[in-house]
Amino acid sequence: MNTLSKFSLSLLAVSTLVACGGNKPADTAMADTTAQTGEARNLVIATEANYPPFNKLNADGKIVGFDVDVIHAVCNEIKANCEVVSQDWDGLLPGLLTNKYDAVIAGISITPERQAQVDFSEPYFSNTIVWISKTDGSFDPNHIKNQILGSQRSTTGADYITQRYDGKDGNRVQLHGTYAESYSDLKLGRNHAVMAEKVSAMDWLKQGNDGFGLVGDEINNNDNLGIAVRKGDTLKSDFDKALITLKANGKLAELEKQHFGDTATLASVDSTEQVVTEPTNTAKTK
């Protein structure tokens, strides 16, 4: 999003890695997560900064997005000072396990494979996946043959189309490092359709990409996003309590509305839409 195996590394193997650099400053050390008497904790939180509208760099080079606002709201609840740094997607969990930062919030799906390596907070968002293609009828999601299908590798969308279509009925799956690259190939005619998270797809469509749209049913594949911390870290309990408060007081819903409008939540998925329940162990929600 193939580098799927990077997320299935054993804890022992990960400990020997030099985490990918991304955009994170080389001299940033793991923050002291021990609360000091009368002082706020200092936490370093990593995100991808290349997955709008969840996380991205703005024109000033500042990391912004839904994930960033959620983690700042969480940190405010637990009275912690949080620095958000950027890291390439493939280096996020390895970096967490090698103590480069204290937690990761980057649209990461909670999967059994990842839960074997790290702990996750309670879900802060639920995704669905969709097809995006030209709206001229050239792509029929109910009869997919001889098509090039795109997605970001190590995502639930990539997992979905690879399992079902790659090498079957003349279809070929083409995976990229980011959704932006998949969308670019779609616009250039290098693939026929992209499978992506609905929020990501809707964000791209809003950028003036006329002639393209969502095609077929929205798919609920039970994709829940959580904040990742190291195994046994008490931050999980703190994050859980904060998220419960943010859900109860409406702050989380307010942030969803701010970043996603009315297109975000699974409440919009009705009984006529396809539901996929098998695990996607290697996926991102990405």
List pLDDT tens digits, range 167-220. 999 999 999 988 999 999 999 999 999 999 999 899 999 998 999 999 999 998
* CA atoms of 241 and 77, how far apart (whole Å): 9
**Surface-to-core class of residue 222, CB atoms within 10 Å of its CB (0-12 exposed, 13-18 middle, 19+ buried):** middle
Which of 124-128, 168-172, 239-243 is least confident? Answer: 124-128
The CATH number assigned to the domain with range 41-127+223-263 reads 3.40.190.10
pLDDT at residue 266 greater than cutoff 70: no
Q: Do domains 41-127+223-263 and 128-221 have the same CATH topology?
A: yes
Q: Are strands 125-134 and 193-197 parallel, antiparallel or unpaired?
A: antiparallel
Please state, rounded to an integer, the average pLDDT across all residues of the chain: 83
Select from 265, 244, 267, 245 the least CA-distant residue to 256.
Answer: 265
Neighbours of 21 (CB within 10 A): 13
Q: In the prediction, which pLDDT does 90 show? A: 86
pLDDT-derived band at 284 (thresholds 50, 70, 90) equals low
Asked whether the bond before 94 is cis by omega within 30 degrees of 0, the reply is no
**Domain coordinates in residue numbering, the chain:** 41-127+223-263, 128-221
What's the average model confidence in pLDDT over 146-152?
A: 97
Q: In the prediction, which pLDDT does 195 show? A: 97
Q: In the prediction, which pLDDT does 56 show? A: 94
pLDDT at residue 8 greater than cutoff 90: no
The CATH number assigned to the domain with range 128-221 reads 3.40.190.10
User: Containing H/E element for 257?
Assistant: helix 251-260
What's the average model confidence in pLDDT over 144-154?
A: 95
User: Containing H/E element for 55?
Assistant: strand 55-57
List pLDDT tens digits, range 16-73. 333 333 343 333 333 344 444 457 899 999 999 988 999 999 999 999 999 999 999 9
pLDDT-derived band at 222 (thresholds 50, 70, 90) equals confident
Select from 115, 61, 52 the least CA-distant residue to 85.
Answer: 61
pLDDT-derived band at 154 (thresholds 50, 70, 90) equals confident
Select from 102, 116, 111, 104 the least CA-distant residue to 233.
Answer: 102
Neighbours of 71 (CB within 10 A): 26
* CA atoms of 156 and 141, how far apart (whole Å): 17
